[in-house]
Structure formats: C-alpha cells, structure tokens
Amino acid sequence: MLQINTIAPDFELYDQNGQLHKLSDYRGHKVVIFFYPKDSTPGCTRQACAYTANIDRFKAIDVIVLGISRDTVKTHLNFATKNDLKYPILADTEIKVINNYEAWQKKTMYGKTAYGTTRTTYIIDEEGKIIYAKEKVSPDNDVLEVLEFLNG
C-alpha cells in the first residue's frame, strides 16, 4: 500500500463514457479513489451504489469520487447505466494504475491462489498527496469510513 504523505502517482484512464481522466486535472480538489475487483459482482455493486447514494455529500465538501477496476469501458458503461452511478468509473485494463497504487496482490479464494485487485481506497489532497490509505476495505463500510475521515 502506498504511504500517507507521499505524492499519488498520476494517471490517465478512460471512464465509462470514453472520457479521459488525469489525476493531475483534479489538483485543487480532494479525490477519493477506490479500487474494486469486478463490475456487477455483489460486493462491488454495493460499494459503487453506496458512493452514488452519498455523492451529494461528497460534492458538498468539494470531493471528487473515482472508481477504478480492470474492467473495460464497455463493461463500465453497462455497470454504470444499470446502477445509475453518478461519478466516473475508470477502466485500467492493462492494470498499470492498479499496480502503481499497490492494489494488485496475491489473493487466495476457495484454496486457489491468484492475483487480483484488492478493494483499496485512497484519499488524495488538493496538492496531490495521499492523506488516507486503506486496503481490504469492506464494501458496506467504505463510504461511511471515508466520509467520517473527510468530515474529521
């Protein structure tokens, strides 16, 4: 996991609508970046929908929300449309950003070991520094924990 008080790695990724997003474009705003394993799975859907349910709370405190997984732009569009997501979800099909943020790790499920995206959340401050980092977050508690941190 990346360390708090270090500069967040910049990136360029496309969202569900084919729009390019660069982290550096959001300087001057706090940014929540949550990495999740896969579109349309139960935990990921709950987590993504919780961010949408609270998007006005993030906007009220001038915080940008970005979700990232290794799914494609097309899959993201289906996922975002089906769940009426109100923020960009970014496609990292080459797993570069996921790796740079140390969210690609060895996982064991049902006795099998494989690499995959760990559910990891970062908050980046207005200058591009990491101020919050948590891995293996709960899809049901992530949003509330992030909001609690942001609201101090």
Written as six digits, the tokens of 42 are 């139960």
- CA 97 – CA 9 distance, rounded (Å): 8
- CA 133 – CA 56 distance, rounded (Å): 22
Write out the catalytic residue numbers. Answer: 44
C-beta of residue 34 within 8 angstroms of C-beta of residue 139: no
Continuous segment of H or E residues that includes residue 75: helix 73-83
Phi, psi of 23 (to 5 degrees): -55, -40
